[in-house]
Amino acid sequence: MKSAQFPNPIYLVNPKYTGEDLLGYKFYDSVSSIPDETPVDLAIIAVPAQITPSIIEEIGKKGVPFAHMFSSGFSELDSEFDKKGKKLEEELVRVASKYGIRILGPNCMGVIAPKSRLTFLMSMKAIQKANAENKENDSVNLEGLEKLGELTDAGQVAFISQSGGIAFAHGMLSQSLGYSFSKVVSLGNQIDLDLIDFLQYFKDDPETKIIAMYIENIKRDGNEFVRLLIETTAKKPVIIWKGGIFQTGHQAVMSHTGGLAGNYKIWESMARQTGVILVNNFLELTDMVQTCLTYPIPQTLGTAVLSMSGGTAVESTDEVERNGLIMPLLSQELTQKINQFIPEINSNLKNPLEFGGKNSMEHTIKIIEMLGEEPQFSSIIMASSPEYLVFGRGNSLDDYIKGISNALPPNSGKLLMCVSSGMNMFEQGIKMNLEFRSRSLSNGFVAYRSTAAAAKSCYRWWKYGKYLEKRKFTS
């Protein structure tokens, strides 16, 4: 919070260090000894589980309205025969109710609210600065990555997570993917404030355009959750990654948050009924967030693929069609136009388009412009190799990004989806691909890890569009 320049007073309470200070903040021996001139809005509690009810009692007497409980050791540790953790949670709710305190957690990381500069993340720029100051530590080298996002940048994505670790990972990774959050909430055991409370809030939050969630279980009525999702997806996309879908995963959910996971087939049915975009893992969730932030909903499944070699063309075709998209042939007129600057020898100009060693930045941009005028294509998936075009062909990364960004008119309604090269043969290439990915969103395109990731994201985005059309038609 200090690194994020949190503007309001922070009070540290720990009787072991009374009278001392940490990073300029004074320690107090109790909550009651905190000065009264500035009301305290939030208590972050990190003490052994068994004494948490007494801490809630203290902050209640102080008039603190909200408690984020980082502490763990509650129902997530209960066995079939021993329910001490559950009883402790019930005691917390009882004491909190007496004072009107709302609880987030326990067993959670808390809240990120960039506009308020409230955060539990580390800044990539702060890490970079610390690394530069510590010359003996060469394990982290962020030189040249100054274009990474900052954790205090406010964005349009809300993330609700039942895992503190995943909330932390998403917050850190997003900085290198080029997007920021309106808010992030780590839920934990949900003994009071829960998933439905925050979904209701984000549904009407003008700062939030996309809602993403990592869910292990629901503590409240599932019917209420479904009704709320139907209302929400009509206004903004909702992306859900459901954890614990197999038997062993069920057990892991029980030991993590102390709740049952539920049958995954029910979740799939729920997604069809509500328009939720269901994803299978963390990387698919970040892919989908980038897709929703960047592109219009595709009107059709028609896709053109630009490849750099015959083998990758075959692989790309398999992945595109495996993930629900279709690949119409180019019109004869367009093929003839391309043949004027790409000869038929050592190239394939049907779909996928593959022109091997004759690949150049100028040719690629020109073909994208032509494909943008073809009505049978709503999306274009392009294999991109920044290190090849920069180091091998003498282009600049800035010119390459600018060329891709301007290849399609802003109102074309078409998706230009890049797939970053997996070559990364040397350090400069790794850094260049990372910078390419981190700058892509701000320049109007996404650089995906694979053709499969691009195709899957495109299909899910199209499917959400069809849900909205059906809903509009039937309502």
What's the pLDDT tens digit per position in 216-244?
A: 988 888 899 999 999 999 999 999 999 98
Query: Do 173 and 248 have their domain in common?
Result: yes
Query: Do 201 and 317 have their domain in common?
Result: no
Query: Do 259 and 338 have their domain in common?
Result: no
Exposure string of 80-113, with b = 16+ CB inside 10 Å and e = fewer, is eeeeebbebbeebeebbeebebebbbbbbbbbbb
462 burial (CB, 10 Å; 0-12 / 13-18 / 19+) is: buried
The span from the CA of 448 to the CA of 419, in Å, is 5
User: Is 138 contained in some domain?
Assistant: no
Query: Do 203 and 349 have their domain in common?
Result: no
**SS3 per-residue string spanning the chain:** CCCCCCCCCCCEECHHHCCCEECCEEEECCHHHCCCCCCCCEEEECCCHHHHHHHHHHHHHHCCCEEEECCCCCHHHCCCCCCHHHHHHHHHHHHHHHHCCEEECCCCCEEEEHHHCECCCCCHHHHHHHHHHCCCCCCCCCCCCCCCCCCCCEEEEEEEECCHHHHHHHHHHHHHHCCCEEEEEECCCCCCCCHHHHHHHHHCCCCCCEEEEEECCCCCCHHHHHHHHHHHHCCCCEEEEECCCCHHHHHHHHHHHCCCCCCHHHHHHHHHHHCCEEECCHHHHHHHHHHHHHCCCCCCCEEEEEECCHHHHHHHHHHHHHCCCECCCCCHHHHHHHHCCCCCCCCEECCCEECHHHCCHHHHHHHHHHHCCCCCCCEEEEEECHHHHHHHCCCCHHHHHHHHHCCCCCCCCCEEEEEECCCCCCHHHHHHHHHHHHHHHHHCCEEECCHHHHHHHHHHHHHHHHHHHHHHHHC
User: Is 4 contained in some domain?
Assistant: no
Query: Do 265 and 402 have their domain in common?
Result: no
Range of the domain at 59: 12-104
Query: Do 288 and 374 have their domain in common?
Result: no
Structure tokens at 56: 């809630």
Print pLDDT tens along the chain (475 aa). 888 889 999 999 999 999 899 999 999 999 999 998 889 999 999 999 999 999 999 999 999 999 999 999 999 888 877 899 999 999 999 999 999 999 999 999 999 999 999 999 876 666 666 666 665 544 444 444 444 456 667 899 999 999 999 999 999 999 889 999 999 999 999 999 999 999 999 999 999 999 999 999 888 888 999 999 999 999 999 999 999 876 554 454 444 444 444 578 889 999 999 999 999 999 999 999 999 999 999 999 999 999 876 667 788 899 999 999 999 999 999 988 988 888 766 667 789 988 765 667 888 899 999 999 999 999 999 988 787 777 766 778 999 999 999 999 989 999 999 998 766 667 777 888 888 999 999 999 999 999 999 999 999 999 999 999 999 887 6
User: Is 187 contained in some domain?
Assistant: yes
Q: Indicate the number of domains in the chain.
A: 3
- Which CATH number do you get for residue 188? 3.40.50.261
User: Is 137 contained in some domain?
Assistant: no
**Domain boundary, last residue among 104, 139, 161:** 104
**Domain boundary, last residue among 294, 319, 347:** 294
Query: Do 18 and 118 have their domain in common?
Result: no
User: Is 131 contained in some domain?
Assistant: no
Could you tell me which of 209, 210, 211 has the C-alpha nearest to residue 160? 211
User: Is 135 contained in some domain?
Assistant: no
Query: Do 213 and 280 have their domain in common?
Result: yes
The span from the CA of 358 to the CA of 448, in Å, is 24
Query: Do 348 and 441 have their domain in common?
Result: yes
Query: Do 328 and 446 have their domain in common?
Result: yes
**Residue 383 phi/psi, 5° resolution?**
-70, 125
Q: How far apart are the first and last CA of the chain?
A: 46
User: Is 267 contained in some domain?
Assistant: yes
User: Is 2 contained in some domain?
Assistant: no
Structure tokens at 244: 């614990």
pLDDT digits (tens, 9 = 90+) for 309-359: 666 778 889 999 999 999 999 999 998 898 888 876 666 778 998 876 566
Q: For the chain, what is the largest distance between any 2 Cα atoms, rounded to a whole number of angstroms?
A: 82
pTM: predicted TM-score of the whole model, two decimal places:
0.91
Query: Do 229 and 117 have their domain in common?
Result: yes
- Which CATH number do you get for residue 91? 3.40.50.720
Query: Do 281 and 175 have their domain in common?
Result: yes
**Domain boundary, last residue among 104, 134, 159:** 104
To which residue do tokens 């700058």 refer?
A: 439
